[in-house]
Structure 1
Amino acid sequence: MAVGELLLSAFFQVIFDRLAPHGELLNFVRQLGGGVDSELKKWENTLTMIKAVLSDAEEKQLTDQAVKIWLDSLRDLAYDVEDILDVFATRALEHKLIAEHDHEASTSKVQRLLPVAFFRCFNRYTVKFNHSMRSSVKDITGRLEELCKQRIELGLQLTPGGASSNTAAQRRPPSSSVPTERTVFGRHQDKAKILEMVSANSPSGHANIAVIPIVGMGGIGKTTLAREVYNDKEVETFKFDIKAWVCVSEDFDVLSISRAILESITYSSCDLKALNEVQVQLKKAVDGKKIFLVLDDVWNEDYGLWEDLKAPLMGAAPNSKIVVTTRHSHVASTMEPTQQYNLRCLSDEDCWSLFMMHAFVSRDLTAQQISDLFRDKVVGKCRGLPLAAKALGGLLRSKRHDAWDEILNNKILDLPRQKWHSRSVKFELSLSSFSPEEMFFLLWYFPQRL
């Protein structure tokens, strides 16, 4: 997959994730009425069709100027889609905070912090906002449909399997606890914090087994961080009787996951077919034992399924821990965590170091021979995402050095740093990242900037 296709596809996937059927954003949009949620569903369907021809477009744009213009227009439209979703996400947060305020006692800390007029002011522009956003949404729908039509006129061909490539299970192979990176950059503090949470005693009144979700966007390094914690020597001092790693992915099948946990614990194959038989054996294996379990790449939002899965684990010894990696805060909240950890993007320096590790293996070129301009181009395209730095480094590693600038100058890769990072702050952090007082300040200061 070419790097332009890789990064634009990843950009699309962020949009798909935000349009999840039961996500907080779409739930808020449904309340607006006016068919806005139906329009957003059209976006998802149309983007899926467009995504299926990206590979062909990436190849043809090198010789066909019309295709290059089409890709540039698609990139610009993707930014506009993200901007609108950002506004919806911010308004959804405002709506939630206002609802919470209505239930606050008159002596609450939050109400003392800001005047009641602060909350009433939102009602003044609600109608205007709804009308404006419906108009903007319809405009985006029209532009998307036009690009979808143009893809046929340009003769762009469907990539085999491309139309269905937006599911998590197809995007990503299963993970394991075995380290894949020689060095992990920029995660020392994150790792220390997770280790602290793993070692902490569970609060009184809680179950014996505590859930620790690591939440962050795709490609930000959740699995890598979980793997670093899982393999850290300090974990041995926490005296866990059992350690297990299971990659869950999109299909949250209780029987399959229960069997995978049992096999990871016992290091032997399980041929049992019935859920009851598997969970009885799993319960026997963990009862009275202090366990440390990692469930990687979880997408399940069904509380009932989570309850079914954890049932045989409830007999574990006190201070047992389950570390969960997920892209969505609402998935994490389904598991009733005592605390959630929101993973941030890497710094430019750490992104550059990661890129260097993958791009310069077995090369004689040194860092001193690389211009600052080239470095800025690389970190600008990585946007703080370890996966992007690794993918870009792997791509350029196989190319001649004199061809690197040509690849990096491809406009389809342009993702403005300032715009991207402002988005990351607005929609990737969980609401629980800030106190109510901090969120009120942000909403007071930033609405006019959206």
Structure 2
Amino acid sequence: MAFIGDAALSKLLDLLLGKSVDAALNFVADHKQVYDQLKEWKSLLPGIKAVLNHAEEKQIKDEGVKSWLEDLQDLAYDADDILDDFAYEELRLKLHKTQAQASTSKVRKLLPSCCTGTDFTPSSFLFKNAMIPKMKEITARLNSLSTRRSSLGLSEILPQAASSERKKPARLQPTSVMDGGVEYVGRENEKREMLDLLKTNNSDGVCVLSIVGMGGMGKTTLAQLVYNDASLEESFDHKAWVCVSEDFDAVKLSNSILQSIDPSSSDLKDLNLLQVKLKEKLSEKRFMLVIDDLWNESYDDWTILRSPFGAMSKIIVTTRLQKVSSVVNPMKTFHLDKLSQNDCLSIFTQHVFGARNFDGHLQFKQVGENLVRRCNGLPLAAKAIGSFLRTTKNLDEWERIYESEIWDFPENQCAIIPALRLSYHHLPSHLKRCFAYCSIFPKDYEFEEEEIILL
């Protein structure tokens, strides 16, 4: 999982592009060669930093991109060292000036005027001359990285206009349709409470319920269980399900909702026309909407999307982020916790054997239970491992999987990897750095809060 170190790299580039370079430019303004080198750094770095997000995603399957990132990190540290040298030299000259001013008036008069400031002294000029070869080497490496960036196909990923590679989901988006061959377990209490709230009449505007939990905790499954419950058939005139994920597009989402209500409606591009039609269709209608996997934290975007829905509408939002839940202002938030060992066992055996237990496969019982303990209450992990082992009925192979890590599974056969990677990508930069730092500790290391803070 080398990609987690890129958060620190991004932060380092921010520093190089910020006050560090500006301070150095002021310090070397009297030396044209050094000044020109720094200006070139400042012109090249933004283009490199702009493609970091794309490189972070692409390096997982592209060794060339991984090597590019490693070279960039080495360069960033070397450039940071040079900027530190400039900062140290500037500080030394200021101290020299202070000491000189504290000397006797006779000594000060003997000093040439060119040596009394911090901008130029003979030793300072020699220092800057000595830095030129190091700086030219950094500039050459920067230019090389820029050229390689283009040949590797790295491009900028904008916050709400991601590249086609990023838009392509790591796995198929969930729908409202459930697998009829699986018996779902573990969320009975939450399901019952949600159904009661959905059947309750309200006149205070749109009623929103939110389901919050980390990736793989079963938020979508709970929404599916509620959405498909037969007892709601008499409670709503229309139902709709939309999966948002990272690409929040109000026009696209509104079209999907409208076509769920009226399949004959055309695909409209104008948001105003869309919302007017939606409001007409839903007037005096009891409407239930599921918005699955919402990441957008903008209150304005939420109010625009919600505006066509009246007091007879009920909305279920699933999200990994508590902030998103706060934005949608739910009547009730359901925070999903881990499942019990028994529930995870049931999920695992259903996907590996098509049964609720190990009764017909007792030879796998012990290692199977050990595997499920490794899932740590995460239903997606139980499903992923069960699905992976479905075609493997060899006890030695099961033992080998138990001794390995979930990360060793092929990504196209294990949904847990992209599910958790997506959670990582959406961490704030400072939390990515904390995550990267904590990852250097060995597996099963017992963290002490004060120790980590001090480190």
Residues 245-296 of structure 1 deviation map (CA, whole Å, 9 limit, x = unaligned): 1122211111111110000111334232221221111111001112111111
Cα distance, 1:42–1:340 mapped onto 2, change above 3 Å: farther
Residues 88-108 of structure 1 deviation map (CA, whole Å, 9 limit, x = unaligned): xxxxxxxxxxxxxxxxxxxxx
Q: Does 1:388 align with 2:388?
A: no
Equivalent position amino acid for 1:185 in 2 = V
Residues 244-283 of structure 1: matches in 2 within 5 Å? 244-283=240-279
Q: Does 1:406 align with 2:400?
A: yes
2:92 is aligned to none
CA contact (8 A) 2:212 2:333 kept: yes
* Cα distance in 1, alignment partners of residues 56 and 340 from structure 2: 30
SS of alignment partner, residue 297 of structure 1: strand
Q: Does 1:303 align with 2:308?
A: no
Query: CA RMSD for the aligned pairs?
Result: 4.5
* Cα distance in 1, alignment partners of residues 240 and 192 from structure 2: 20
Equivalent position amino acid for 1:407 in 2 = I
CA contact (8 A) 1:48 1:166 kept: no
**Residue correspondences, number:** 288
Gaps of 5+ in 1: 1-7, 27-33, 36-40, 58-157, 415-427, 429-445
TM-score of the two chains, using structure 2 as the length reference: 0.54
CA contact (8 A) 2:349 2:358 kept: no
Residues 399-427 of structure 1 deviation map (CA, whole Å, 9 limit, x = unaligned): 2323221122115659xxxxxxxxxxxxx
SS of alignment partner, residue 308 of structure 1: helix
Equivalent position amino acid for 1:370 in 2 = F
Cα distance, 1:370–1:412 mapped onto 2, change above 3 Å: closer
* Cα distance in 1, alignment partners of residues 351 and 331 from structure 2: 37
Identity %: 39
Gaps of 5+ in 2: 12-18, 21-49, 67-151, 158-162, 409-426, 428-447
Q: Which moved more, 1:193-202 or 1:304-313?
A: 193-202
Aligned equivalent of 1:222, options 207, 214, 219: 219
State the 1:236 CA deviation. 2.6
TM-score of the two chains, using structure 1 as the length reference: 0.54
Cα distance, 1:166–1:225 mapped onto 2, change above 3 Å: farther
1:177 is aligned to 176
SS of alignment partner, residue 325 of structure 1: strand
Q: Does 1:344 align with 2:353?
A: no
State the 1:382 CA deviation. 1.7
* Cα distance in 1, alignment partners of residues 407 and 57 from structure 2: 19
State the 1:375 CA deviation. 2.9
SS of alignment partner, residue 400 of structure 2: helix
Cα distance, 1:48–1:404 mapped onto 2, change above 3 Å: same
Q: Does 1:357 align with 2:350?
A: yes
Equivalent position amino acid for 1:326 in 2 = T
SS of alignment partner, residue 296 of structure 2: coil
1:243 is aligned to 239
* Cα distance in 2, alignment partners of residues 337 and 448 from structure 1: 36
Equivalent position amino acid for 2:233 in 1 = E
Equivalent position amino acid for 2:60 in 1 = K
CA contact (8 A) 1:245 1:293 kept: yes
Cα distance, 1:389–1:412 mapped onto 2, change above 3 Å: closer
